Amino acid sequence: MNKQATVFAAFRAAFPITVPILAGFMFLGIAYGVFMNLSGFGAGWAFFMSLLIFAGSMEFVAVSLLLGAFNPLGALLLTLMVNARHLFYGLSMLEKYKGTGWKKPYLIFGMCDESFSLNQSATIPREVDRGWFMFFVTLLNHVYWVAGATIGGLLGSFVHFDLEGLEFVMTALFVVIFIEQWMKEKVHDSAMIGIGVSVVCLIVFGADRFIIPAMLVILAILTLARKKLERETIAAEKGEPL
Amino acid sequence: MMSVSQQIWIIAIVVLATMATRFLPFLIFPPGRPTPKYIQYLGKVLPAATIGLLVIYSLKNINLMSGAHGIPELISVAVVAGLHVWKKNMFLSIAVGTILYMVLIRL
């Protein structure tokens, strides 16, 4: 295959799996742009912030930072806290992003929740170039988000569609990826630890503070259970009974 | 109210801190050097737990005590999961689940 054909084949394989994100990001992006506009920031701000930050929930938080008193240290700590989950994404993608050349910095830059979960779980056809595939997944998500935010910023307070609930498309996507992962794996300990610990931490610490405690507890349990989990995984790969 | 240059500073800090959380693991464990066995192990087991965390994260704002008590969310999640186990069609599961959710919150 020549280069153009390789690139096009990767685009054709990547686009379909990003369609749910197209729906979700257009909706959330427009909501974000409108919110920015109503907060006194025009489409230009929405465009640059969605382009450069590309982390949905953090961008909503950033608007409140911009409207408050000037507090750089507070902004730094809050951002690190809200986005700490990306550390787990990075550790999970060390192998998958290897060998992707000049695309690697962009893949890491664009590793939002949705790009991570799609690239992490996608079964890429053998004839399709992995690097280009993951590049297009990330780029398309990025384009949807920036387009949505900019349109929202331009429309401002003129939009009045009742699309409440469309944001559930993201939850549905994560549930689907969770189920796919579950069906692919023979050992379910880690998946159950992830759900169980997160629920308990959410109840104990509340919606705004549970992520970091949940990450630490997940890390601790996975570390303590390493011997057992490694043994089980190897046994499962060989097809032996546990 | 902040000046525009102060606002740009805040955005720059948010961008840099976000990038730090994304780039850090790749900078600490570059491809040239062998990755420690423990980190390789985490790279294998973390994805499943992380997707679980992400599912709960996307549901974090449901309130079980008031409003609809999270019933639309629970029903829709169950339908998405059930439908996906049954039909294994990503679009179908996501579309049916989302439309169902949009209907349920309007009842």
Instruction: Say what the pLDDT of residue A161 is.
Output: 67
Supply φ then ψ for residue A82, to 5 degrees.
-65, -35
d(CA B4, CA B7): 5
Q: State how far the Cα of A26 lies from the Cα of A30, in Å rounded to an integer.
A: 6
Q: CA-nearest residue of chain A to B94?
A: A172
Q: What residue has token string 């729906």?
A: A23
Contact of B76 with chain A, judged by CB distance below 8 Å, is answered with yes
CA dihedral for A73, A76, A78, A80, sign (positive or negative): negative
Chain B: closest CA distance from residue A15 (Å): 13
How many angstroms away from the CA of A235 is the closest CA of chain B? Answer: 15
ipTM for this model? 0.90
- Find the residue in A nearest to B86 (Cα): A179
**Chain A contact for B64 (CB, 8 A cutoff):** no
Please state, in angstroms and rounded to a whole number, the distance separating the CA atoms of residues B53 and B10: 28
Closest CA relative to residue A234, chosen from B35, B51, B44: B44
**Chain A neighbors of B6, CB-CB under 8 A:** 70
Residue pLDDT, tens place only, A117-157: 999 999 999 999 999 999 999 999 999 999 999 999 998 86
Chain A contact present for B102, CB below 8 A? yes
> pLDDT tens across B66-85, in order?
778 899 999 999 999 999 99
Where does the pLDDT of residue A81 fall: very low under 50, low under 70, confident under 90, or very high at 90 and above?
Answer: confident
Write the pLDDT tens digit of every residue in A167-222.
Answer: 898 899 899 989 988 998 889 999 999 999 999 999 999 988 898 999 999 999 99
Sign (positive or negative) of CA dihedral A132, A134, A137, A141: negative
Closest residue, chain A, to B54 (C-alpha): A174
Inter-residue contact A51 to A153 (CB < 8 Å): no
